[in-house]
Amino acid sequence: MADRPDGAPQQGSNKPALSLHVPEPKYRPGDAVDFSHIDVPPAGEQPRPDENCDTHDMHDLAYGLVRVLGEDDKAHGPWDPKLDPETLRTMLGHMAMTRAFDERMFRGQRQGKTSFYMKCTGEEATSIASSMALAADDMVFPSYRQQGILIARGYPMIEMINQIYSNKGDKLKGRQLPIMYSSREHSFFTISGNLATQTPQAVGWAMASAIKGDSRIAATWVGEGSTAEGDFHAACTFATVYNAPVILNVVNNQWAISSFSGFAGAERTTFAARALGYGLAGLRVDGNDALACYAAQLWAANRARSNGGPTLIEYFTYRAEGHSTSDDPSGYRSAQERTEWPLGDPVMRLKNHLIALGEWDEDRQEKMDLEAAEHVRKVTKEAEQNGILGHGLHHPFQTMFEDVFEELPWHLKEQSEQAIREREIKFPGGLKL
């Protein structure tokens, strides 16, 4: 019996009916959580190949999990970067400062001082530890949860807060969504709200660096959900075809806004395994292990600098908070997931490692946390003098027409003059133009 024109089998056909698979997370609100299905190998078990090895030799590293910090809080195996205690303390300090910054900005949003904020709680190692393995002038193309890179690179915190408040001190003049920073001086490319656009940009920048015979490489960060975007796959193709000196960092924190990683392909394979199909080097790393994050990024950076090619790194971690201040994760995932996550908390693990080395203690950690919170509070108060949301302290109105053309075209001049006239009529002498 012939099929119908729409492709469905005719009545009475013995062909099996097709069914559509829709990914479903293991746990929903109210469910008990059991992460025993996640394979967490012992720290130090994964081999560390030479940076210039053939990508075919990295198959197992794309499916395994590179770990350094063990249950005994000590470093193990060939991936141990053997960082000195002072560097570890600096790394811990950046992570503590980032966490304090997040807490303060989150409260500020809830108090109506800004419209939007995104925390990176539980993911600090994926940005701070990894970026510390790069040179200060290597170009980074971040997503919206890598504020720790700016803090680690010494970007003035008041500039970050001015941008979040979109006040008169905002160097971006209120033209970007809060938390979408930019700093040429710190080799920090402008954050884009359009998902995955930074990946082909990073590859293109790296290709240009290679064309010029420069020594700088590029690194980009993207969430696992964004790997489903076409831009990400275009970036992978260009990176491998032109052997671009670039690192593609995929932060797999298990959840996009409200959809779990299965919708981006996690049910079928790891995100690091995508590298294999493109001929990229692929590493899957414990994203809550600061030493593993640093070691993987350093390995990939050395490979890129020696013209060995690009690397895709998957950081296996967990988003402990909501996607943003506009999100309530209790509506789509179990509240137990955060506490049951088997890889722990990156700040606690690094702190405990330093204590195990005899280079730290709880009293110093408490002092560090208090000093970080006080520093953020002080800088926030300073930034608030430049204005907060809805208080009218912002850049002059006419600046919205500036900084695009060297000479303003006639039609924009007309629009600017009309807008200013209407504003003067609506707010006679009341608001700054």
Structure-block tokens of residue 45: 């078990």
The confidence score (pLDDT) of residue 397 equals 74
The 3-state DSSP composition of the chain as helix, strand, coil percent (nearest 5) reads 40, 10, 50
The confidence score (pLDDT) of residue 245 equals 98
The confidence score (pLDDT) of residue 420 equals 84
Compute the distance between CA of residue 244 and CA of residue 236 in angstroms, rounded to an integer. 10
The confidence score (pLDDT) of residue 317 equals 98
The confidence score (pLDDT) of residue 219 equals 98
Any idea what the Cα angle at residue 132 is, between residues 293 and 339, rounded to 5°?
Answer: 40
The confidence score (pLDDT) of residue 11 equals 64
Compute how many other C-beta atoms are within 10 angstroms of the C-beta atom of residue 429. 6
The confidence score (pLDDT) of residue 135 equals 98
Torsion of CA 309, 274, 251, 296, to 10 degrees: -40
Element (H, E) at 247: strand 246-252
Strand 246-252 relative to strand 281-286: parallel, antiparallel, unpaired? Answer: unpaired
Q: For each of the chain's 433 residues, which pLDDT tens digit applies?
A: 455 656 555 666 789 999 999 999 999 999 999 999 999 999 999 999 999 999 999 999 999 999 999 999 999 999 999 999 999 999 999 999 999 999 999 999 999 999 999 999 999 999 999 999 999 999 999 999 999 999 999 999 999 999 999 999 999 998 999 999 999 999 999 999 899 999 999 999 999 999 999 999 999 999 999 999 999 999 999 999 999 999 999 999 999 989 999 999 999 999 999 999 999 999 999 999 999 999 999 999 999 999 999 999 999 999 999 999 999 999 999 999 999 999 999 999 999 999 999 999 999 999 999 999 999 999 999 999 999 998 878 887 778 888 889 999 999 999 988 988 888 888 776 555 4
The confidence score (pLDDT) of residue 7 equals 58
